Chain A
Amino acid sequence: MNETTRTALRARAWLVGITALCGLWLVQNGAATRTDPPRPAAAEAFAAGPPPRVAATAPLPRSEPVRIRIPRIGVDAPMTRLGLRADGSLEVPPARDRNLAGWFAKGTPPGAKGTAIVAGHVDNAQGPSVFYALGSLKKGDRVEIGRGDGRTAVFAVDAVEVYANDDFPDRRVYGPSPDASLRLITCGGAFSRTTGYQGNVVAYAHLTGVR
């Protein structure tokens, strides 16, 4: 083997060595970090300023929601009915179905006059669920709800906020509203293995169109 070849081989050996080290570092670093579901940015809170003005549309007659789509975060899921638990809190859809959202059926159906309440899991034991990316919604984002009467109610997001469980603003989230409003709720906030999620992410939206 001549000198040039030996040098070339040595250079390549170094390259391989460095690459291997990089790979090792990536694996180690990845194992050491933790990824949580996205949390709403401060700019998306009510306090950060008004959302881009999207005119409200007159409310629709009541009709059962059957599908929810949020194009920007890739949500496209069927909807089920939710009631109340014994403690008065909102039921959630069965956790094992990772692509299912629910609406509070004793309340206002989405698109009708009043406050429609929709909830979905952020994750289950196996991984991310239907509302995993809810915290990454931004003001002005579009939410579409397909209804049993064939129409699609289109909403625009007004704000996305995160609340601690023990300081949950019931009236603001569940209280009545004079036009067709929507609330999307999931778990969020701080997480620890022992206590689970410490809060809820709530996205507020109002009806802006019908298709």
Chain B
Amino acid sequence: MRSPARLATGTAAAALTAAVLGLAATATVAPSAYADDAGRLEFAPATAPPGAQVTVNTGACGADGSGFGDAAELEAGEFELEPLSGAGATGRFTVPAEAEPGTYAVGVFCDNGDEASGEFQVTAASSAAAAGASSGGSSAGSSAWPKAPAEREPGAGKKPEPGTGTGTGTEPEPGLGVRPEPATPSEAWPDRPSGHVSAGVGGSVGPGTTRIAAGAGVLCAAAVAGACLVRRRAHGAQDG
């Protein structure tokens, strides 16, 4: 039977918990506190047809210039970032052959916590010749990107790369490194772990020690009781 005092305390605690939970539930994700920090992404070419390789540049990521890009909306997966001389980072992805024309968000997440995003436009495959030729301000010539790889790709007038992402492999550039799609995650993420963790040897695997302990306890009790009985019987025999 609970005392009224305990009941009151319990109810008060429950009410307080409910209030706190209610407050927590209404707190939404902070509206991008990073909106001011979020950089822009610049694409070269700014638009491209399926199969084209697109270079992404950003001023985010600081001097380290490392992180990952996410072109998942295009189904192009993730791509690695490398430092750009000066500040910023650059990366590369290939527009998949089956991508539909349209505008897709591409994001970049830096190791230093910065982020940047941009919108990339996929054009229809047949308009390859028109795309990329410095359309709009975002691909305003290589002067915007110090040592940018834009020199290598004068728009999509170049033959589009095979959509399977085997990479160019033809024009090695020191520092930027043309490389094929990584075969294993550790290649794409040179600084991330890969594979399982070896964190146990089985020292905790053993017999049911609780049961053994309980059994031993019960045996001891039985032994003691048995001894008492024998004594009792002996006494009884003497008296009786």
Judge: A and B partners, yes or no: yes
**A–B complex contacts, Cβ < 8 Å, 6 sampled:** A9-B236, A26-B212, A104-B193, A124-B203, A174-B189, A209-B24
Q: Which of B25, B112, B189, B192: most chain A Cβ within 10 A? A: B192
The interface residues of chain A lying within 8 Å CB-to-CB of B154 are: none
Contact B199 A24 (CB under 8 A): no
The interface residues of chain B lying within 8 Å CB-to-CB of A122 are: 199-200, 204
The interface residues of chain A lying within 8 Å CB-to-CB of B70 are: 176, 178
Q: Separation in Å of the A208 CB from the closest CB of chain B? A: 8
| A73 on the B face (CB < 8 A) | no
Residue on B nearest A123 in the bound complex, by CB: B204
Interface residues in chain A, defined as those with a beta carbon under 8 Å from any beta carbon in chain B: 1-2, 5-6, 9, 12-13, 15-17, 19-20, 22-37, 55-59, 61-62, 84, 87-90, 92, 95, 104, 106-108, 112-114, 117, 119-129, 131-132, 163, 165, 168, 170-171, 174-176, 178-179, 185-188, 191, 193, 196-197, 199-200, 209
| B83 on the A face (CB < 8 A) | no
Chain A interface mostly helix, strand, loop or mixed? mixed
Contact B29 A35 (CB under 8 A): no
Contact B199 A92 (CB under 8 A): yes
Chain B interface mostly helix, strand, loop or mixed? mixed
The interface residues of chain A lying within 8 Å CB-to-CB of B34 are: 58
Contact A30 B218 (CB under 8 A): no
Q: Separation in Å of the B130 CB from the closest CB of chain A? A: 34
Tell me which residues from 168 to 184 in chain B have a Cβ below 8 Å from any Cβ of chain A. Answer: 184
Task: Give bound CA distance, A106 to B191, whole Å.
Answer: 7
Q: Separation in Å of the B189 CB from the closest CB of chain A? A: 7
Tell me which residues from 181 to 229 in chain B have a Cβ below 8 Å from any Cβ of chain A. Answer: 184-186, 189, 191-223, 225-226, 229
Contact B185 A20 (CB under 8 A): no
A-B contact count (CB 8 A): 225
The interface residues of chain A lying within 8 Å CB-to-CB of B204 are: 35-37, 122-123, 127-129, 132
Given A19-B222, A24-B219, do A36 and B205 touch, yes or no (CB 8 Å)? yes
Task: Please classify how large the interface on chain B is, using the bins under 10, 10 to 19, 20 to 34, 35 or more.
Answer: 35 or more
Given A176-B68, A178-B107, do A125 and B30 touch, yes or no (CB 8 Å)? no
Q: Separation in Å of the A192 CB from the closest CB of chain B? A: 8
The interface residues of chain A lying within 8 Å CB-to-CB of B201 are: 95, 123-125, 196-197
Task: Give bound CA distance, A128 to B201, whole Å.
Answer: 10
Contact A55 B29 (CB under 8 A): yes
Contact B205 A176 (CB under 8 A): no
Contact B30 A57 (CB under 8 A): yes
The interface residues of chain A lying within 8 Å CB-to-CB of B236 are: 1, 5-6, 9
Contact B240 A2 (CB under 8 A): yes
Q: Separation in Å of the B222 CB from the closest CB of chain A? A: 4
